[in-house]
Chains A and B, each alone.
Chain A
């Protein structure tokens, strides 16, 4: 009997066993931390650090490997950029990398273990329930205000020069919590939108679609005349709105899948009447076979496959990871094939789209925080500050001079090692080996990266096409609920999001009538959606008064 009791209970408690081993950690971390701060305080402040720093300490670093490098490199220590980063800053690093795509789960387990590395690269606004303020309050990461003042002159100067970005990278109470990733130019903030086969359109005598009606005509023609089995498809994993949530198609009806603001008021898209119209449109398209039949289970692999085989003529994707990846695939089958970016659809020709993908200058991914268990926070800060210096900026965006880029008339130019890689790596992959310009990290992204990274004219055109939206006016800045409200907010939104995913797909796939929408909106209300909007509104108000 005992055995079975223990057995069944212990299965349930597996998770807690991990936690059990770590109960005395708080004491250690507290003491080691104050010890360090004490000794640091005696040193002199605010002077530019000379790199490489002379140190015999090794710092530990926790962070995801860029998805582009899956199958290319397994560990940070094998990636030239990270080897070089240690050399130029002089600080040896020991890396831990969570499985790509499971960062949140891995982070969760790491926190529960109670053993934290010195630095963690993590999205504290998007992926930490409760946001950065709570992460500081719960004692995982340290507030960086004093440390930045004393040891990070480069970042400090950048933030002083850019007060609007400064406002984004701190919390409501004015705490700095991470070394931010900043998209240094408006040009870098838009990179995703509808993509369509231009060669098919030309052949069929159709224009690049602008209105929803144009789209219906184009997709119908793709299906009937080009034999496309799934004229429109897009990635639905892990969520149905993974790529379509920020305004492609539904933006025409004036809504997105999430929160946005109108005249300073927070609005939730899926409860608006426009969302119902969007569902009705997609339902219609689906029943006519204009949308992939497997849309609920479509992942990047199946989307790639459909585009390559010519079963699909339109999708939603990035200039780099979409057009850049798919253009060679479609060309392989049909040399004349061309993919172009189409404008975000509108209802009336000539209107400016209300929504489209648009990131704020600081979107909180790729930021690096220092944990409460850091052995030497001062050294970590000095090291991370490198990315915001002039040399550091070049290094992060372009890599090492003479290897991955050359200065031509003061313009850092990627070498062929990156753009025409001898090992047949795509530019996006090769750049991620030598630099971080193509994704993110603790530095300011340089426009000159994108000018070269988008090797095809169609990619550059796509970005300028997608930029023509009013999204910047309606999108929310990086806001977070207060730590007190965060779990209430999370609990509500968890249920609401489940409900919306379910409702949207059921209505689109025809399992339920369009009018079921109204019933669902009532359900959202009964799940206390209004309270969640109230919390978001308060967060926005706090942000505006920062």
Chain B
């Protein structure tokens, strides 16, 4: 009884706020919740001419096909390994860059460095992959550099063991500047008086970083990390497809590129949806877990 009254009172008090929330609520219902019924096609043999409801039910057939596929373990492993590598190597990179930029005193240099590092983000992926292919060719610029030191030139994209490093390094190169923006913004909000106090107490700059700066942006890092966990299985297929070839399938073929070959080129709508649904469920589980751990351990979380 009491709670009900409280709700009514709250509603009356904040009428306008609730009204303003309506469009947003409608947006999520119309564009994010209603389309979810489309996920039904993962359990059907979807044919556009029959429509979603008219297509025949096949139960878990598509999931079964996917899990029992000859390549399932390989693509799952590759997806996880590439995700893990980028979590270990790519995720901390922008944080480091933000710290470095923060330490620079010269404002002009700071701005120039920031602009230059985030430029690559705006180059189309297709162009980037063209550049990577050219650079890593047997007679590409990277190999020419190596040749100066007596190595024999080899087409690097034809080496399965080099695929992941190339993928991750180019990823860092392209995204480091862009992703550091959020950390730089977080750095701005740290109270400058803390630094003054630390300097008075004789803390070195390294100590200042460890005891003031890092704890200051830790909540941001945590949030970014949790979000990242929610994307563990989503290694985008565009870059993979532009860079891989049959020799590197072993290390490069991931769930999304497999689904591209199978789903899009074979018109397997239902099959792709089944895999998409599987991905989302796993991602959601990882996200919730990461969030839970983070809430227990350092008290900052998404919800």
A12 B158 Cβ-Cβ under 8 A: no
Q: Once the chains are docked, how many angstroms separate the CA of A16 from the CA of B31?
A: 12
Across the interface, which residues of A come within 8 angstroms of B71, CB to CB?
Answer: 495, 498
Q: A296-B155, A502-B247 are in contact. Are A8 and B265 (CB under 8 A)?
A: no
Write the nearest CB–CB distance from B140 to chain A, whole angstroms: 9
Partner of A12, one of B157, B246, B249, B277: B277
- B289 near A: Cβ within 8 Å? no
CB-based contact B267/A129 at 8 Å: yes
Query: What residues of A have a CB within 8 angstroms of the CB of B272 in the complex?
Result: 15
Q: Mark B219-235, 1 if CB is under 8 A from A, else 0.
A: 00000000000100010
Residues of A within 8 A of B277 (CB): 12
Convert B104-148 into 0s and 1s, putting 1 for each residue whose CB lies closer than 8 angstroms to a CB of A: 000000000000000000000000000001000111000000000
Chain A residue numbers with a CB within 8 Å of B48 are 19, 22, 25, 111-114
Q: Does B70 contact A (CB under 8 A)?
A: yes
Contacts of B153 in A (CB 8 A): 293
* A residues 224-261 in Cβ contact with B at 8 Å: 229, 236, 240
Contact check, A502 vs B158: say whether CB atoms are below 8 A apart.
Answer: no
Known: A4-B230, A19-B52. A504 touches B246 (CB 8 A): yes
Q: Bound complex: CA of A461 vs CA of B75, how far in Å?
A: 48
Structural contact, B138 and A294, CB atoms closer than 8 A: yes
User: Smallest CB-CB separation from B65: which chain A residue?
Assistant: A491
- B188-232: which have CB < 8 Å to A? 230
A129 to B34, CA, bound (A): 30
A522 CB-CB contact with B under 8 Å: no
Q: A-facing mask of B34-66, CB < 8 A → 1, else 0?
A: 111111010000111111111000000000010
B269 at the interface (CB under 8 A from A): yes
Q: How far in angstroms is the closest Cβ of chain B from A99?
A: 12
Shortest Cβ gap from A177 to chain B (Å): 16
Task: State A229–B138 Cα separation when bound (angstroms).
Answer: 10
Q: Are A16 and B41 interface neighbours, CB within 8 A?
A: yes
Given contact pairs A113-B48, A296-B245, A502-B247, A15 touches B158 in the complex (Cβ within 8 A): no
Q: Which of A87-95, A333-341, A389-397, A505-513 contacts B (4 or more CB under 8 A)?
A: A505-513
A88-120 contact mask (Cβ, 8 Å, vs B): 1 or 0: 000000000000000011001001111000000
Given A6-B28, A10-B32, A23-B52, A293:B247 Cβ within 8 A = no
Q: Are A294 and B36 interface neighbours, CB within 8 A?
A: no
Most chain B CB within a 10 A radius of its CB, from A7, A128, A294 = A294
* Chain A residues whose CB sits within 8 angstroms of the CB of B34 once the complex forms: 20
A3 to B284, CA, bound (A): 12
In the complex formed, the residue of B with least CB distance to A6 is B32
**Chain A min CB distance to B21 (Å):** 13
The yes or no answer to B280 lying at the interface (CB within 8 A) is yes
Task: Chain A residues near B154: list those with CB within 8 A.
Answer: 293
Q: Could you tell me the distance between the alpha carbons of A491 and B258 in the complex, rounded to whole angstroms?
A: 12
Interface size class of A (residues with CB under 8 A): 35 or more
Q: Is the CB of A129 within 8 A of B266?
A: yes
| CB <8 Å contact, A297 and B303 | no
- Bound form: Cα–Cα A461–B48 in Å: 49
Q: How far is the CA of A3 from the CA of B230 in the complex (A)?
A: 13
Distance between Cα atoms of A177 and B178 in the complex (Å): 52
Cβ contacts under 8 Å, B70 to chain A? 495, 526-527
B158 cross-chain contacts in A, Cβ below 8 A: 294, 296-297, 505, 509
Q: Which residue of A lies closest to B34 (CB)?
A: A20
- Flag whether A490 is at the interface (Cβ < 8 A): yes
Contact present for A501 and B246 (CB under 8 Å): yes
> Which residue of chain A has its CB nearest to the CB of B143?
A293
Residues of A within 8 A of B267 (CB): 108, 111, 128-129
Q: Mark A125-142, 1 if CB is under 8 A from B, else 0.
A: 000110000000011100
Within 8 A of A (CB), among B9-24: none
Q: Are A4 and B262 within 8 A (Cβ)?
A: no
B92 within 8 A of partner (CB)? no
B residues in contact with A505, CB < 8 Å: 158, 245-247
- The docked-state distance in angstroms from the alpha carbon of A537 to that of B265 is 24
B158 closest partner in A (C-beta): A296
Contacts of B155 in A (CB 8 A): 293-294, 296-297
Q: Which single member of A15, A111, A498 contacts B273 (CB below 8 Å)?
A: A15
- Nearest CB in chain B: distance from A298 CB, A: 10
Complex-state Cα separation, A440 to B159, whole angstroms: 39
Inter-chain CA distance A10–B31, complex, in Å, is: 9
The answer to whether A502 and B249 touch (CB under 8 A), given A16-B35, A297-B137, A495-B69, is yes
Is B65 in contact with A9, judged by CB distance below 8 angstroms? no
The residue on A at minimum CB distance from B153 is A293
- Distance to closest chain B CB from A507 (angstroms): 10
CA distance A140 to B48 in the complex (A): 9
Distance between Cα atoms of A24 and B219 in the complex (Å): 48
Q: How far is the CA of A206 from the CA of B133 in the complex (A)?
A: 35
Least distance between A308 CB and chain B CB atoms (Å) = 15
A22 in contact with B138 (CB, 8 Å): no
- Contacts A15-B276, A105-B264, A505-B246 given; indicate if A10 touches B35 (C-beta within 8 A): yes
A505 to B65, CA, bound (A): 27
CA distance A158 to B268 in the complex (A): 37
B269:A26 contact, CB within 8 angstroms: no
The residues of B with any CB-CB pair to A shorter than 8 Å are 28, 31-39, 41, 46-54, 65, 69-71, 133, 137-139, 153-155, 157-158, 160, 230, 234, 245-247, 249-250, 261-262, 264-269, 272-273, 276-277, 279-280, 283-284, 287, 302-303
Starting from the known contacts A16-B38, A19-B41, A19-B269, 14 additional A-B residue pairs (CB-CB under 8 Å) come to A6-B32, A15-B269, A16-B35, A19-B38, A24-B51, A108-B267, A128-B267, A138-B47, A139-B47, A236-B245, A294-B137, A296-B247, A498-B71, A502-B250
| Chain A to chain B contacts (Cβ below 8 Å), 13 pairs | A4-B302, A8-B283, A10-B36, A17-B31, A17-B35, A19-B52, A22-B51, A23-B51, A23-B54, A105-B264, A296-B245, A490-B266, A526-B70
